[in-house]
Structure 1
């Protein structure tokens, strides 16, 4: 049993994470960042939940780049093969649920 106060979580580096749980090969991690992540494609589905701050999620669909500004409580789902990149607008805390060991 643990209670995690997401708004109090910080990391020593951008995209530093606190492992919360791994259930049947699915990991749940809390990330803190104030810097963009690199463009990437996961080898499994990914659920990305903004818990604090704002994140501009950029993603590619059918060769075209799109942007969505995500605020507290917003969720982004990236299916297998979806190229995406997160650009925080200042500090942000994000809950990421994905296949354990996913890139």
Structure 2
């Protein structure tokens, strides 16, 4: 049994992560960041949950870039093939659930 305080978690670098669990090839990570990630397409599906802070989620649909402001409690589901990048607005803590080894 483990209890984790997401609000107090920090990492030594942007997108540093606390590996919470791997359940049959599906990983759950708690990330801390204050910098954008990179445009990417995951190897599988991804669930992205803002636990603390705000994040502008950029994503492309038919080669058109869109942006959605995500706040605490908001969830982004990236289906296979969804190109996206997260831009935190200051510090943010994010829970990511995805296929093991995904980008």
Query: Into which bin does the TM-score normalised by the smaller protein fall?
Result: over 0.9
Q: Which residues of 2 match residues 4-19 of structure 1 at below 5 A?
A: 4-19=4-19
Residue number in structure 1 paired with 2:51? 51
Report how many residues are paired: 103
Query: In structure 2, what is the equivalent of residue 77 of structure 1?
Result: 77
Q: Which runs of 5+ in 2 are unaligned?
A: none
Paired residues for 1:18-57 under 5 Å: 18-57=18-57
RMSD: 0.4
Cα distance in 1 for residues equivalent to 2:50 and 2:95: 6
Return the offset for 1:63.
Answer: 1.1
Q: 5+ unaligned residues in a row in structure 1: which ranges?
A: none
Partners of 1:19 and 1:76 in 2: how far apart?
20
Q: Which residue pairs with 1:66 in the alignment?
A: 66
TM, length-normalised to structure 2? 0.99
Q: Deviations over 1:63-85 (max 9, x none)?
A: 11100000000000111111000
Separation in 1, partners of 2:75, 2:51: 9
Structure 2 CA distance for aligned equivalents of residues 94 and 18 of structure 1: 11
TM-score by length of 1: 0.99
Runs of 4+ in 1 over 4 A off after TM superposition: none
Q: Partner of 1:44: helix, strand, or coil?
A: coil
